[in-house]
Amino acid sequence: MSNAVEIPFETTLLVRDTCLCLHVQRAARALARRFDEALRPFGLTNGQFSLMMSLNRPVPASMGSVTALLAIDQTTLTAALKPLERRGWVSIVPNPKDRRARLLSLTPAGKAALAAAVPIWKTTHAALEERLPDGNGDRLRSDLAILL
């Protein structure tokens, strides 16, 4: 005798058609692929571009401020920083106020690499926003912010 639980196929269709999480994940993956492709000639992924942009500040950033901005944990941030540090694009130094903490900043080479990629980011971003119903992403950004 089988005690297998059956989920109606209609439930599968309901989730496929209505699940906000699924739809946002699919859109995020599609956007990530598009930006990865656009940024590839600059040796960057979309995640690296966002991380480097988060370090484009007048003063070095704390690990905590970057993890909060990017909504990632410290282990993920540390792993993401390693290839950028190896390339000489990011500097990681002890915080003089707390030697256990680290401060992050772009190096001159990192700023140059990021600056070279910004025009293609702008072009790619503008093309995506043009596809939205109102021609810009303000409503989408606002709607997504509500979910945070």
Least Cα distance to 49 among 148, 127, 103, 120 occurs for 120
Q: Is residue 94 situated within a structural domain?
A: yes
Among positive and negative, which fits the CA dihedral 13, 19, 25, 28? Answer: positive
Q: Is residue 148 situated within a structural domain?
A: no
Q: Is residue 3 situated within a structural domain?
A: no
Q: How far apart are CA 117 and CA 39, in angstroms?
A: 7
Q: Is residue 133 situated within a structural domain?
A: no
Map residue 8 onto helix, strand or coil.
coil
Q: How far apart are CA 49 and CA 42, in angstroms?
A: 10
- The percentage of residues in the chain with a pLDDT greater than 70, rounded to a whole number, is 99
Angle between helices 20-39 and 9-18 (to 10 degrees): 50
Read off the pLDDT of residues 30-86 as tens digits, 9 standing for 90 and up.
999 999 999 999 999 999 999 999 999 999 999 999 999 999 999 999 999 999 999
Q: What pLDDT sits at residue 27?
A: 94
Backbone angles phi, psi at 100, to 5 degrees: -80, -25
Number of structural domains (the chain) is 1
Least Cα distance to 67 among 41, 39, 102 occurs for 102
24 CB-near residues (< 8 Å, 6+ apart): 144, 147
101: confidence class by pLDDT, cuts 50, 70, 90 = confident
pTM above 0.85, yes or no: yes
Q: Is residue 80 situated within a structural domain?
A: yes
Q: Tell me whether strands 90-95 and 61-62 are parallel, antiparallel or unpaired.
A: unpaired
Q: Is residue 147 situated within a structural domain?
A: no
Containing structural domain, residue 91: 19-126
Find the distance separating the first CA and the last CA of the chain, reported in whole Å: 46
Q: Is residue 114 situated within a structural domain?
A: yes
Q: What pLDDT sits at residue 1?
A: 62
Q: CATH number, domain at 89?
A: 1.10.10.10
Q: Is residue 135 situated within a structural domain?
A: no
